[in-house]
Chain A
């Protein structure tokens, strides 16, 4: 049998068939190469377009040492000038420190009412640092007060945040009790693992005076407890969003939709690129809310030994010199 086949293969009439197979193989290789080239070209064009959509702003950053530290800021800036002058400018609603690489990955939610030292020797709330001196003031304040050196910054507006969550298909967050806050249109009756769309997730991270339904009674949290819950919710929503992004490797259509939304809504420092952003989204790490001490007569909180202890526990060295 084998001998017959071998004989048939070596016989002269078989030559045209082999040639035809060879030709088909060549055609297939050419088609595959063309497809590959098209894909590479399309990918390149797509990456170029996504990169071009990212807004960049100049900022001086300190050396962030081992690993990569992102400072993510959720700004409350209105898309158009607000009628009331007191809403002008932008304040930081959400402040997240996302570290990946050595020594360990972590997500730290910084209370927006944390006092940061200024260059003049005074203090200001982190939320207002963004308004008074832009991202640079926040970077310098975190460096000066907490010894945290930031390597990349991303600033997201509130509308941009909602659009990113919607593009990801929503996020699933754990809600321990029904929560509402009329001042930001928040009303979530479900408990447990709750799926939220963009506006719901935005309302959750913006809520400063949440009320929880406990034993049939709506109970409002005190000022500092509300602020702490807000910081926790901001981190939880970001963590959920990052988990969704990590699962989109095999869903190119939705991944593209998310990246399109992110690049259209996010402003980053001039040294950051799309690849840095993707690296940050694919990282992992436990979420922590930075503890701080309450002060009398003010909503502001100040860093204490617990604050520095937690930062040291997640791997921040605690020393940083503001860039000159």
Chain B
């Protein structure tokens, strides 16, 4: 009776855990994006301020075909900004934005590896995080940086790039299933054979 109960419980547990594999078919999730708003003050009565939003990402590594990144900004509907990651999978995009800088800016990005995609978590920034530069202080031109050096500006820890699906949960399920299987085999072993062996052993001892 106990063995039957354990068998049923094992089967129910495996059946309950099986859909976890199907759930991994969703697109990979990339590491968080880094955003930086820049405001370049004109410094004169006739000049106009300029502003830009720099988006930095990592973990977009090419496979068979070159990888590319598509970035969208909620303030620029219908526009797509693209970037080509470097050999380490790092990339950046600079988007010119209108002044004055106000409210929240939402950024979405996708790394396209031709055979699949990595979707970055939506990132946001706002007017409280503006880096203000006086006229001529950023590269001397007074305008936003056209192409910031990705490696130099990235403040991330530079962890390992996300190169595959998360198999941790599947490994756990596999180990658990194996352990339960071993337990089941152990509990379900033929008792009579054991008894016979014991009897044989005891008989030998008696001799």
Q: Which of B63, B74, B84, B110 contacts A124 (CB 8 A)?
A: B110
Interface positions of A from 169 to 210, Cβ below 8 Å from B: none
**B122 & A120 in contact (Cβ 8 Å cutoff):** yes
Shortest distance from the beta carbon of A4 to any chain B beta carbon, whole Å: 89
Count of A interface residues, CB-CB < 8 Å: 23
A297 touching B83 in the complex, CB below 8 Å, given contacts A122-B70, A128-B112, A128-B116: yes
Q: Interface 1/0s, chain A 119-143, versus B by CB < 8 A?
A: 0111111001001100000000000
Which residues of chain B are within 8 angstroms of A302 by Cβ–Cβ distance? 80
Give the nearest-CB partner of B164 in chain A: A85
Interface centre among B114, B122, B165 (most CB of A within 10 A): B114
**A120 & B80 in contact (Cβ 8 Å cutoff):** no
**B70 & A300 in contact (Cβ 8 Å cutoff):** yes
Shortest distance from the beta carbon of B123 to any chain A beta carbon, whole Å: 11
Does A95 sit within 8 A of B, measured CB to CB?
no
Does B26 sit within 8 A of A, measured CB to CB?
yes
Does A39 sit within 8 A of B, measured CB to CB?
no
The stretch that binds B, out of A29-37, A86-94, A148-156, A231-239, is A86-94
Which residues of chain B are within 8 angstroms of A120 by Cβ–Cβ distance? 108, 119, 122
Q: Interface 1/0s, chain B 9-39, versus A by CB < 8 A?
A: 0000000000000000111000000000000
Interface positions of B from 99 to 151, Cβ below 8 Å from A: 106, 108-110, 112-117, 119, 122
Does A298 sit within 8 A of B, measured CB to CB?
yes
Give the nearest-CB partner of B25 in chain A: A89
Does A115 sit within 8 A of B, measured CB to CB?
yes
Give the nearest-CB partner of B81 in chain A: A295
Which residues of chain B are within 8 angstroms of A299 by Cβ–Cβ distance? 65, 68, 112, 114
**B72 & A123 in contact (Cβ 8 Å cutoff):** yes
Which residues of chain B are within 8 angstroms of A122 by Cβ–Cβ distance? 70, 72, 108-110, 119, 122
Which residues of chain B are within 8 angstroms of A58 by Cβ–Cβ distance? none
Shortest distance from the beta carbon of A140 to any chain B beta carbon, whole Å: 15
CA gap between A317 and B167 in the complex, in Å: 45
Interface positions of B from 50 to 75, Cβ below 8 Å from A: 63-65, 68-70, 72, 74
Does A296 sit within 8 A of B, measured CB to CB?
yes
**B110 & A123 in contact (Cβ 8 Å cutoff):** yes
Does B82 sit within 8 A of A, measured CB to CB?
yes
A115 touching B70 in the complex, CB below 8 Å, given contacts A121-B122, A122-B110, A123-B110: yes
Q: Which of A86, A121, A296 contacts B116 (CB 8 A)?
A: A86
Q: Which of A85, A89, A118, A125 contacts B112 (CB 8 A)?
A: A125
Q: Which of A85, A124, A297 contacts B117 (CB 8 A)?
A: A124
Q: Which of B27, B74, B82 contacts A132 (CB 8 A)?
A: B27
**B26 & A132 in contact (Cβ 8 Å cutoff):** yes
Which residues of chain B are within 8 angstroms of A87 by Cβ–Cβ distance? 115
Q: Interface 1/0s, chain A 76-106, versus B by CB < 8 A?
A: 0000000001110101000000000000000
List 18 extra interface pairs beyond A85-B164, A122-B70, A296-B82, CB under 8 A.
Answer: A86-B63, A86-B116, A91-B115, A115-B80, A120-B119, A121-B72, A121-B74, A122-B119, A123-B70, A124-B110, A124-B112, A132-B26, A295-B80, A295-B82, A297-B84, A298-B84, A300-B68, A302-B80
Interface residues of A (CB under 8 A from B): 85-87, 89, 91, 115, 118, 120-125, 128, 131-132, 295-300, 302
Q: List 14 A-B contacts (CB under 8 A).
A: A86-B64, A120-B122, A121-B72, A122-B109, A123-B108, A124-B70, A128-B116, A128-B117, A131-B27, A131-B117, A132-B27, A297-B68, A297-B82, A299-B68
